[in-house]
Structure 1
């Protein structure tokens, strides 16, 4: 009896790097995250792709608002995970604050990022700043 074995291999795409220093950079980062997930083989489910876009949007927005007005986003993928690493020039770690339910001044982003990610770390650098690594299951 002949049997044919089919193997699906995944080749991680080349990391995607995006830099920005204004509000236009937020939409650029979201588009880059969506394009990155579209190139993954095997493709992640739509929920994971949407979650990555949301996490990237929040991280980049926080970097622009609280991290010194400039960010570098690097997207990478392994066999089981996708990682968004956002660097900014401010060494201060994000801090949780109570969300503003009436005034619209925010406070939801860091809570959301922590809830949506599988693993979250903050490392020093590059330079004087910090990098937040947000990992999601693939």
Structure 2
């Protein structure tokens, strides 16, 4: 099994999440065998956006994005400094405070996991169909 990694460290800024999405697109475009289907690529980018946004908002202001390509899947892993796992919130249907993200990620992914890091913080990962 061959895996390819793309790492990007992101600091909270007005362009941080856009940069993470661009890193994901570049990573996916570089995969040739097998290539990633356009719908699957859009899903990966959406999950990257959500996990990075949550890490920056709730995880201490910095995070590291790690993308791994497996033969049939793409793993998105976001590492941050907070030990607090993501949790389901009641969606804000009339405001701008969100609440849809973790549910969405869990519905889009084959599997999700939250693991504590020995150096502190956590890793939130999602495995998506390639």
Q: TM-score, normalised by structure 1?
A: 0.88
After superposition, the C-alpha distances for 1:97-129 in whole angstroms (9 at most, x for unaligned) are 111001111111111111111110111115110
What is the match of residue 114 of structure 1?
A: 106
Name the CA shift for 1:55/1:11 in 2 (closer, same or farther; >3 Å): same
What is the match of residue 33 of structure 1?
A: 24
The answer to whether the aligner puts 1:69 opposite 2:64 as a matched pair is no
What is the match of residue 8 of structure 2?
A: 18
Structure 1 unaligned regions, length at least 5: 1-9
- Which protein shows a greater Rg? 1
Please provide the CA RMSD for this pair: 1.4
Count of aligned residue pairs for this structure pair: 128
The answer to whether the aligner puts 1:96 opposite 2:88 as a matched pair is yes
After superposition, the C-alpha distances for 1:53-85 in whole angstroms (9 at most, x for unaligned) are 000000000000011111000000111110010
Name the CA shift for 1:133/1:43 in 2 (closer, same or farther; >3 Å): same
Q: Which runs of 4+ in 1 moved over 2 A?
A: none
Deviates more, 1:108-117 or 1:54-63: 108-117
- Judging by fraction of residues, say which structure has more strand: 2
What is the distance in 1 between the residues matched to 2:79 and 2:93?
28
Q: Which has the higher contact order (CA 8 A, sep 6+)?
A: 2
What is the distance in 2 between the residues matched to 1:77 and 1:27?
21
Q: Say whether the 8 Å CA contact 1:33–1:53 is kept in structure 2.
A: yes
Q: TM-score, normalised by structure 2?
A: 0.93
